[in-house]
Amino acid sequence: MNGQGFCYARGDPVLQAQKVSKIYALGKEKVKALDEVDFLSTQGDFVVINGPSGSGKTTLLNLLALIDRPSQGEVLFEGKPTSKLSERDLAFLRRQRIGLVFQTFNLIPVLTAAENVEYPLLLLNLSRQEREQRVRSLLEEVGLDGLGRRRPDELSGGQRQRVAIARALVTQPRVVLADEPTANLDSTTGKQIMGLLQNLNGEHCVTFVVVTHDPAVPPYAQRVLDIRDGKIQGERYVADRPA
């Protein structure tokens, strides 16, 4: 259950892409990073998008995260098209409903772990009491009890990614998008992080979309999409997820 004991019905559409293409102009040349991609993730989903370097994973994730706009096609959030929304509206959607985890953690270096987790709540104008309570319980949940006062450079890579995950979840978003969350971690730590995401997905009814080229990641998903040269190649369901 999420913090307020409130869960959307499993199966409701959360993020959807309809025939989205993204074309980059590199000088005179045009690079088609995404080619008419269709995608659907529903409430409580745990999707991994798997593909080699340059296949368009980050491009797709940025579109789904509403920080970029497609050249063609439409991205729908909670069933509603987003192409007509202003930058401001998209920013408000992001701060309220979407959590992001980056390959390079992207913590704010001058803030402590707890302050990093607290930052999105400042954007939501929550009371200090509410903020402190949420930050404490999330740090505990990601296994960083007692490390809240450390600054990012005083934490290991795995710990930093845990802070980033706490930051992504603290606003109780509908979906968390992660771009290669294990790429900068050793394989053991990477597995721990994926295990954490899996648990969180089970406990909060948050949708997770993870893009990766790390072969250790797909087993944690419910569903795996393969992407290659900007196209979704196939979809499979994972039978044996690690405990």
Contact yes or no for 162/199 (Cβ under 8 A): no
* Separation between Cα atoms, residue 17 and residue 108, nearest integer Å: 30
E-strand stretches of 43-181: 46-50, 72-77, 80-81, 98-101, 175-179
* Separation between Cα atoms, residue 184 and residue 7, nearest integer Å: 32
Q: Which is nearer to other proteins, 95 or 231 (CB)?
A: 95
Residues between 31 and 70 that touch other proteins (CB under 8 A): 62, 65, 67-68
Q: Which is nearer to ligand ATP, 34 or 98 (CB)?
A: 34
Among 26, 110, 239, 243, binds other proteins (CB under 8 A): 110
Binding site partner of 56, from Mg ion, other proteins, ligand ATP, none, Cβ cut-off 5-8 A by kind: ligand ATP
Contact yes or no for 61/20 (Cβ under 8 A): no
Residues between 207 and 236 that touch ligand ATP (CB under 6 A): 213
| 183 scored as a contact of other proteins (CB under 8 A) | no
Among 15, 34, 49, 100, binds other proteins (CB under 8 A): 100
Tokens (6 digits) for 28: 């005179």
Binding site partner of 160, from ligand ATP, Mg ion, other proteins, none, Cβ cut-off 5-8 A by kind: none
| 58 scored as a contact of Mg ion (CB under 5 A) | yes
Q: Binding mask 27-66 vs ligand ATP (x if CB under 6 A, - otherwise)?
A: ----x-x-----------------x-xxxxxxx-------
In sequence order, which residues have a C-beta less than 8 Å from that of residue 17 and are 6 or more positions away? 37, 38, 39, 40, 60, 63, 64, 70, 73, 74, 75, 76
Q: Which is nearer to Mg ion, 49 or 142 (CB)?
A: 49
Q: How far is the CB of 48 from Mg ion (least distance, A)?
A: 14
Query: Which strands make up the sheet holding 80-81, listed edge to edge?
Result: 29-42, 13-26, 72-77, 80-81
DSSP-derived letter for residue 218 is: G
Among 40, 123, 145, 202, binds other proteins (CB under 8 A): 123
Contact yes or no for 208/33 (Cβ under 8 A): no
Select from 5-13, 48-56, 110-118, 135-143 the region that touches other proteins (CB under 8 A): 110-118
* Separation between Cα atoms, residue 132 and residue 98, nearest integer Å: 20
Encode 98-108: b = buried (16+ Cβ within 10 Å), e = exposed: bbbbbbebebe
Binding site partner of 218, from Mg ion, other proteins, ligand ATP, none, Cβ cut-off 5-8 A by kind: none
Which residues lie near ligand ATP (CB under 6 A)? 24, 26, 31, 33, 51, 53-59, 213
Which residues lie near other proteins (CB under 8 A)? 62, 65, 67-68, 87-88, 91-96, 98, 100, 102, 104, 106, 108-111, 115, 119-120, 122-123, 167
